[in-house]
Structure 1
Amino acid sequence: MSGAEQGPGVLNQEKFEQLARLGDRVDEALRLEFINGRIGEKAVPDGAHGRIIVWLMQLCSQTLPGAWLFGEQGIRVESYRSGNARPDGVLAPIEHFVNQGEWASADGVLMVVEVTSSDSDTTNRDRVEKPRAYAETGIPVYLLIDRGTHEVKVHSLPDGVRYESVLTVPFGKTVPLPDPVGFDLDTEPLTHWVS
């Protein structure tokens, strides 16, 4: 690369991590991600968002002993370029992230979870960019709780480019979470928390 390509205005993995550390000190509510060569900012979660994540944490811990749904754990994503994501939930063995630092490897992650927000970028970020990045990384299951459409989308069978299977059900139905998660998710509670 020429010097111009590495100048101060070019964002790369190292510069992103420096910026993310600065953001954490400046504003506790700021959550940055670096996906598909683009920096993104996540909206501050609201009460219903938090309740949905707690509900999923409880279900996962009851159903999958030895695993935990970690909230806001940073993971490295995208096989062909450097990227960082901070999913709303990352299901992994309970010891998986020990000694890995802020941006951990996604190897061994069982599922990632996103709950949509009301910000203007949620369509592009949660419905387009993240499924692609998670599939490229080889994460077996991507669970999207889409509060805008009142649907749950289960993405599975990553082929290194995209998820080959996407199962969509409306809130209130039961949806199977495929292996390695391997349990049925009754989405009825979502009808009470999302208006």
Structure 2
Amino acid sequence: MAKVLEGPTTEKPTMLESYERACDLFPDYRVEVVNGRIVVNDVPTGLHNDIVSNLLLQIVAVVAANGWKLWTNIKIFLGPQADRYIPDLTVVPRDPRMRGPDEVQGDVTELVVEVVSPSSVNDDHVVKPREYAKATVSLYLLIDPEQGIAVLFSSPAGGSYQQRVQVALGAPLDLPEPWKLTIDTGLLVDLDDPKTDSPG
């Protein structure tokens, strides 16, 4: 379950100071700043990891052919005063532009992927598309096993994504140029599991 931390009321540290403190306090957890809140996420579940693993199997050939890299546990730099996210999977070019050793610039990413957890529904569906678009993250893929859907956000412009394609898990999902790849979303999850049935 995600934890939301609040800074001490007397010292009033900056958000960045509170965030860095949380990172130090919880080194084995995913610490993010989401919509101005510091959120400490638990270690992903087996289902969560299975979805990421199954996606990797489908995209690795295209990633290799383009000379890109597959990164996990990397922070996305969205701007000096903006949120800090750690996607479940990030695809970056061979020599991505960095903001320090553990933050990659959002606008150079080829793809960011979030697998929705019960505690992150609003953040993943509402907050992160808005902030990723502002930072011109080119493609944001959201996979929600509870709702049985995958959503691809693309074409960021004017602070929002101009394209949003949603499919039920089990349906194909096309990634645009330069990917030229169709994801079989049925292979991401066990469709016999009642939690991943396509919505009715």
TM bracket, shorter-chain basis: 0.7 to 0.9
Counterpart residue type for residue 173 of structure 2: V
Alignment partner of 1:45: what SS?
A: coil
User: Which residue of 124, 130, 133 corresponds with 1:132?
Assistant: 130
Give yes or no for the alignment of 1:32 onto 2:31: yes
Mapping for residues 25-174 of structure 1, pairs under 5 Å: 28=28, 30-65=29-64, 66-77=67-78, 79=79, 81-96=81-96, 100-118=100-118, 121-174=119-172
- Cα 1:180–1:9 change in 2 (3 A) is farther
Return the alpha-carbon distance in structure 2 between the equivalents of residues 113 and 160 of structure 1.
22
Q: CA shift at 1:20, angstroms?
A: 1.2
Q: CA shift at 1:14, angstroms?
A: 3.6
Q: Is the 1:35–1:85 Cα contact (8 Å) retained in structure 2?
A: yes
Counterpart residue type for residue 185 of structure 1: I
TM-score (norm 2): 0.81
Return the alpha-carbon distance in structure 1 between the equivalents of residues 178 and 81 of structure 2.
26
Return the alpha-carbon distance in structure 2 between the equivalents of residues 182 and 128 of structure 1.
27
Is 11-20 or 126-135 further displaced after alignment? 11-20
Q: CA shift at 1:55, angstroms?
A: 1.9
Let me know the Cα RMSD of the aligned residues. 2.4
Percent of counterpart pairs with the same letter? Answer: 29
5+ residue gaps, structure 1: 1-6
Counterpart of 2:24?
21
Aligned residues: 183
Q: CA shift at 1:54, angstroms?
A: 1.5
Counterpart of 1:186?
184
Q: Which whole-Å deviations, capped at 9, do the CAs of 1:32-66 have from their partners, x for residues lacking one?
A: 10133221222321111111112222322212321
Q: Is the 2:77–2:99 Cα contact (8 Å) retained in structure 1?
A: no
Q: Is the 2:77–2:84 Cα contact (8 Å) retained in structure 1?
A: yes
